[in-house]
A and B are shown apart, each in its own frame.
Chain A
Amino acid sequence: MELHEFTAGDIRKLLRERKISSVELTRAYLERISALDDRLKAFITVTKDMALEMAAAADKAFGEGRESTVGGIPLALKDNLSVKGIPCTCGSSILQNYVAPYNATVVERLVSENSVIMGKTNMDEFAMGSSTENSAFFTTGNPWDLSRVPGGSSGGSAAAVAARMVPWALGSDTGGSVRQPAAFCGITGLKPTYGLISRYGLVAYASSLDQIGILSRNTEDCALLLKAIAGQDRRDSTSAGIPVPDYEAALRGKEGNFTIGIVEEFFQQSLDDGIRTLIEQAAHVFEGMGWSLKRVSFPHIRYSLASYYIIAPAEASSNLARYDGSRYGLREPAETTISMFKRSREKGFGAEVKRRIMMGTYTLSAGYYDAYYLKAQKVRTLIKRDFDEAFRECSFILAPVTPTAPFRKGENIDDPLKMYLSDIYTVSVNLAGLPGLVLPCGFSGGLPVALQLIGKPFDEVTLLRAGTAFQRATDFHLKNPPLGEAVPGGSIKESMK
């Protein structure tokens, strides 16, 4: 087996057994990135020197007997997570020259565990998009078909993991931005409960919906990384003060008898037939494990996309107001301060970001607030209640992730409404603040398809247990994208065998 084919869990074992060093491993992955990324374009910044330093530090820590969950294992970060001294562009021209002067809380936790940061990945500008085509710099390819999009907005992170350029990565999920690209790239993705992971240092898109998420090869890796980064942070008032369970240990626990909720409304909409069939098959897999299915109805779910596209742009219009050219980032000279703001923002923001800022500004305006923002917040409460109702009887909910398989680059770019529809099965989870786990469940026309498990608040343990059971029963998550075949895996693979 080539080095890059190992999961993070395998790598951790090899590191602990001193079969490899973190520096060897990091070099191998750096080589793979440099060999692949010209074609894939997953990375905005590769932090080679930093990665090697961190790897050396990890090796030193191992030598001194200091073990950790994620120590020595390479990792990629979406370019909206702040790493001190490293550019944080958010995929935007307006932040092209901005270097973060501080570490995000998750980064701080990863650094303290000697994780190895390989670089910052491509994304839709300010996390607005479902294809990574809204990046100001370039579009990332889907490792299963380079002419197709990797999904978004964490498309760079998803593609990097799928193409085995890193064993795992972090993204952010405001309306499906971890789960949708995970589905499109055929990997495992987790959007945890709102408040489980500190958002400090995650550049805000829509504060009440944003949550850092994990892109990995399987549920075990997901649990390992979650364990390292979850937990209360006094710098984030919305982070929850609940004890963080040992997710890794929890996976080894007894599975129990789960009741799976199937939301009728999810299967009535514009769901691709191939995807519908694969989800139904997956449901049978769960049935085969002795779990029961229960049909549930979400009467308010049809309003979720509409309320999402009011709340998220409203918050975004405020969150993005700080990018005005006066303190950092792009500045366009002008005669007066206000025209300097206008010209910097005109030049620095892309079309989708401007569209959402305008929508948000409009819906928050005097006279429209009650009709739009307040109404959307009320709908949000009703959607949350639909979930609460279902969770009285169900352990989790089984749902599709996307209505279609990965689409071609450019296919939806001129049709924002069609693009927004790709989030139809994911946004309600953010509105309700729930955790959602995405698992590969088959292929349609040679492209990956995934299912989504939606859990009770802070019940990531159940989700990960169910996901682990599914991945034991199936092998979809073990398939390699064709891109991987033709590319060398690094010079030290002999030492691995």
Chain B
Amino acid sequence: MSPEIIIGLEVHVELLTESKLFCGCSTKFGNPPNTNVCPVCLGLPGVLPVLNRKAVEHLIRTACALSCTIAPRSKFDRKNYFYPDMPKNFQISQYDLPLATAGKLSIVTAGGEKTITIKRIHLEEDTGKSVHKGTIDCSLSTLEDYNRAGVPLLEIVTEPDMRSPEEAHVFLTGLKDILRWLAVSDCKMEEGSLRCDANISLSPGDGVLGTKTEIKNLNSFKSVREALEHEAARQQKCLASGIAIVQETRGWDEKKSVTIPMRSKEAEYDYRYFPEPDLLPLEPGAQWIREFREALPELPAEKRERFVRDYRIPSYDSSVLTSSPAMADFFEATVRCGASPKAGSNWLMGDISRILNDKSLSLDETPLTPGRLAGMIDLVEKGTVSGKTAKSLIEEMLATGKDPLEIVKERGLTQISGEDAIQALVIEVAQANTEAMHSLRKGNEKVRGFLVGQVMKASKGRANPSMVNKVLDGLLGALPLPEARQDEDDHIRG
């Protein structure tokens, strides 16, 4: 029996605040080095920290969404160690009294649903960034950029509840959904606003704990999964060949797809934590917390279930539609404007998402409104425009925000449903494709699509397809066809 994989995660999330955790400097990403700095975040002699209220609100909202217990009294501590990207050589963090503890998040994998326990969530300041010329081992100089120093971070620590790299991956995705949903963080791993450290060990069974290793600074969801898969395999190989696993910190080499040792646990720092004397204890009143809890929006998981239940759409549709608050709200508003839920879902998941992806836009960056989308769906259902026309309509609506009916009138896109007009088109096509007509008449339904397509092409997409079919069927009996060809055809078929 292969040993059980045990995984716990520590997730660092940069919060979406205008200003840093302890000063008024901007948190904007990508500014020139050392432009978002002041005496406070540079830790100059004599400065003092002042706590950002918004960051505390973000923590409380996250804690509510993850069903955490929120401490009536919390405090900040100093974590002391020397590193040049840390202006004060200590980091203001929370140690023994984090603001939130004992939360949970449900995940669904192929193995079913399970609950991951959140051990704690606390606030801390981010560090700056060291830029080494050359490699870290043999650089001639190191430059420091303190723009990030002091940006508020949430540290979310789970219990070692995950049993596979897949579970870790699904947990992270679910956590990211919630954080983005609450607009607490943009969770851009490529910009470092979501960073993950993973602890992994193999248990030989019977609840015996194996020696764990920690994989640091995983910077994409893919690397979290791959690094854990690799590390589990490596540890298993060690166990199988009787090599002891060393408790250590490892890094993930993305290019070689291997974890590599960074430092052994012997060299672990003594952080000399003690209460931060420059900040008062943090005491969010019960009333304040209650207000946040009550104002919490419906979360993605609840919304997903409700969409399936209320709108009777497939759960796949529901999970796509609830991938962002903007998409979910747009969908519901479209339904409220009279569109059928499945049609609304199809358009949003299909053409609209495709066009937005191509242009790297989000729904709220376009002038399209739910009312107009519902209007367009109505035009299709009434047969005023064809499905094909609708595709070009939606493109224009996303670009200009125009009313669909207006576009239809301007461009003369009304669907052709008149029997006479369609008959003329079908006859034209039938005469040009007599063999196909003959084949269809003998019951070869495969060529029907080709013929209808030809009619649609001739009408520039405006012909009503069901009317085309009807006219086509009527015509099949009326056309004279050579007997010999028919026999030959039978013969071939036989």
Interface, chain A (partner B; CB < 8 A): 80-82, 88, 90, 95, 98, 100-102, 104, 199-204, 206-208, 234-238, 314-315, 317-318, 321-322, 324, 326-328, 337-338, 341, 361, 364-366, 369, 373
B277–A208 touching, CB < 8 Å: yes
A494 to B370, CA, bound (A): 88
A322–B45 touching, CB < 8 Å: yes
A328 to B278, CA, bound (A): 23
A204 to B47, CA, bound (A): 8
B43, B87, B278, B280 interface centre (most CB from chain A within 10 Å)? B278
Q: Which residue of A is nearest B22, CB measured? A: A237
Q: Which residues from chain A contact B278 at a C-beta distance below 8 Å? A: 204, 207, 236-238
A364 to B277, CA, bound (A): 14
Q: Which residue of B is nearest A367, CB measured? A: B270
B45–A88 touching, CB < 8 Å: yes
- B311 sits at the interface (CB 8 A): no
Q: Which residue of B is nearest A364, CB measured? A: B272
B272–A100 touching, CB < 8 Å: no
Partner of A204, one of B46, B50, B87: B46
A318–B274 touching, CB < 8 Å: yes
Additional A-B contact list (7), CB under 8 Å, known A98-B45, A361-B272: A101-B39, A101-B44, A200-B46, A204-B46, A207-B277, A314-B274, A317-B80
Partner of B51, one of A100, A237, A321: A237
A237–B88 touching, CB < 8 Å: no
Say yes or no: A327-B50 contact (C-beta < 8 A), given A82-B45, A237-B278, A341-B82.
Answer: no
A318 to B44, CA, bound (A): 14
- B347 sits at the interface (CB 8 A): no
A and B contact pairs by CB, cutoff 8 A, 28 listed? A80-B46, A81-B46, A88-B45, A98-B45, A200-B47, A201-B47, A202-B46, A203-B45, A207-B278, A234-B50, A237-B49, A237-B278, A237-B279, A238-B277, A238-B279, A238-B280, A315-B277, A317-B80, A318-B78, A318-B274, A321-B82, A321-B89, A322-B43, A324-B89, A327-B144, A337-B84, A364-B80, A366-B272
Q: Which residue of B is nearest A202, CB measured? A: B46
Contacting A at CB under 8 A, from B15-73, are 39, 42-51
B272–A200 touching, CB < 8 Å: no
A322–B87 touching, CB < 8 Å: yes
A314 to B273, CA, bound (A): 10
Question: Top 6 nearest A-B pairs by Cβ distance?
Answer: A321-B89, A364-B272, A207-B277, A208-B277, A203-B45, A201-B46
A104–B277 touching, CB < 8 Å: no
- B90 sits at the interface (CB 8 A): yes
- B142 sits at the interface (CB 8 A): yes
Say yes or no: A321-B45 contact (C-beta < 8 A), given A238-B278, A365-B272.
Answer: no
Q: Which residues from chain A contact B39 at a C-beta distance below 8 Å? A: 101-102
Partner of A366, one of B46, B142, B270: B270
Q: Which residues from chain B contact A206 at a C-beta distance below 8 Å? A: 277
Q: Which residues from chain B contact A201 at a C-beta distance below 8 Å? A: 46-47
Shortest Cβ gap from B414 to chain A (Å) = 66
Q: Which residue of B is nearest A207, CB measured? A: B277
Q: Which residue of A is nearest B80, CB measured? A: A318
B48–A236 touching, CB < 8 Å: yes
A235–B48 touching, CB < 8 Å: yes
B272–A318 touching, CB < 8 Å: yes
B277–A237 touching, CB < 8 Å: no
A189 to B144, CA, bound (A): 43
Interface 0/1 of B84-123, CB less than 8 Å to A: 1001111000000000000000000000000000000000
A235–B89 touching, CB < 8 Å: no
Q: Which residue of A is nearest B146, CB measured? A: A327
Say yes or no: A321-B274 contact (C-beta < 8 A), given A98-B45, A200-B46, A203-B45.
Answer: no
Q: Which residues from chain B contact A234 at a C-beta distance below 8 Å? A: 50
B48–A237 touching, CB < 8 Å: yes
Q: Which residue of B is nearest A326, CB measured? A: B84
Say yes or no: A318-B90 contact (C-beta < 8 A), given A208-B277, A365-B270, A365-B272.
Answer: yes
Q: Which residue of B is nearest A104, CB measured? A: B46
B51, B88, B270 interface centre (most CB from chain A within 10 Å)? B270
Partner of A373, one of B88, B274, B280: B274
Shortest Cβ gap from A383 to chain B (Å) = 17
Q: Which residues from chain B contact A82 at a C-beta distance below 8 Å? A: 45-46
Q: Which residue of A is nearest B45, CB measured? A: A203
Partner of B82, one of A207, A235, A324: A324
A235–B274 touching, CB < 8 Å: no
A483 to B278, CA, bound (A): 41
A327–B87 touching, CB < 8 Å: yes
A92 to B37, CA, bound (A): 26
Shortest Cβ gap from B92 to chain A (Å) = 11
B88–A321 touching, CB < 8 Å: yes
Q: Which residues from chain B contact A95 at a C-beta distance below 8 Å? A: 45
Q: Which residue of A is nearest B271, CB measured? A: A366
Q: Which residue of B is nearest A98, CB measured? A: B45
A365 to B183, CA, bound (A): 39
B84, B142, B272 interface centre (most CB from chain A within 10 Å)? B272
A100 to B39, CA, bound (A): 9
A490 to B174, CA, bound (A): 77
A338 to B269, CA, bound (A): 14
Q: Which residues from chain A contact B47 at a C-beta distance below 8 Å? A: 200-201
Shortest Cβ gap from A351 to chain B (Å) = 21
Shortest Cβ gap from A434 to chain B (Å) = 17
Interface 0/1 of B258-281, CB less than 8 Å to A: 000000000000101110011110
A235–B45 touching, CB < 8 Å: no
A349 to B86, CA, bound (A): 20
Shortest Cβ gap from A290 to chain B (Å) = 41
Shortest Cβ gap from B73 to chain A (Å) = 16
A366 to B90, CA, bound (A): 16
B47, B84, B90 interface centre (most CB from chain A within 10 Å)? B47
Q: Which residues from chain A contact B142 at a C-beta distance below 8 Å? A: 337
Shortest Cβ gap from A378 to chain B (Å) = 13
Shortest Cβ gap from A204 to chain B (Å) = 7
Q: Which residue of A is nearest B78, CB measured? A: A318
A200 to B48, CA, bound (A): 6
A361 to B277, CA, bound (A): 16
Shortest Cβ gap from B269 to chain A (Å) = 10
Shortest Cβ gap from A160 to chain B (Å) = 21
Q: Which residues from chain B contact A208 at a C-beta distance below 8 Å? A: 277
Shortest Cβ gap from A337 to chain B (Å) = 6
Shortest Cβ gap from A179 to chain B (Å) = 21
A101, A322, A337, A338 interface centre (most CB from chain B within 10 Å)? A322
A82 to B44, CA, bound (A): 10
Shortest Cβ gap from A311 to chain B (Å) = 9
A100 to B47, CA, bound (A): 11
Shortest Cβ gap from A491 to chain B (Å) = 37
Q: Which residues from chain A contact B277 at a C-beta distance below 8 Å? A: 206-208, 238, 315
Q: Which residues from chain B contact A338 at a C-beta distance below 8 Å? A: 82
B80–A324 touching, CB < 8 Å: no
Q: Which residue of B is nearest A101, CB measured? A: B39
A381 to B49, CA, bound (A): 25
Shortest Cβ gap from A194 to chain B (Å) = 10
Say yes or no: A90-B45 contact (C-beta < 8 A), given A337-B142, A365-B270.
Answer: yes
Shortest Cβ gap from B111 to chain A (Å) = 40
A82, A200, A321 interface centre (most CB from chain B within 10 Å)? A321
B48, B51, B273, B279 interface centre (most CB from chain A within 10 Å)? B48
Shortest Cβ gap from B209 to chain A (Å) = 22
Q: Which residues from chain B contact A90 at a C-beta distance below 8 Å? A: 45
B84–A324 touching, CB < 8 Å: yes
Q: Which residue of A is nearest B130, CB measured? A: A337
Q: Which residues from chain B contact A104 at a C-beta distance below 8 Å? A: 46
B43, B45, B142, B270 interface centre (most CB from chain A within 10 Å)? B45
B50–A235 touching, CB < 8 Å: yes
Q: Which residues from chain A contact B279 at a C-beta distance below 8 Å? A: 237-238
B46–A369 touching, CB < 8 Å: no
Shortest Cβ gap from B279 to chain A (Å) = 5
Q: Which residues from chain A contact B274 at a C-beta distance below 8 Å? A: 314-315, 318, 364, 369, 373
Shortest Cβ gap from B93 to chain A (Å) = 13
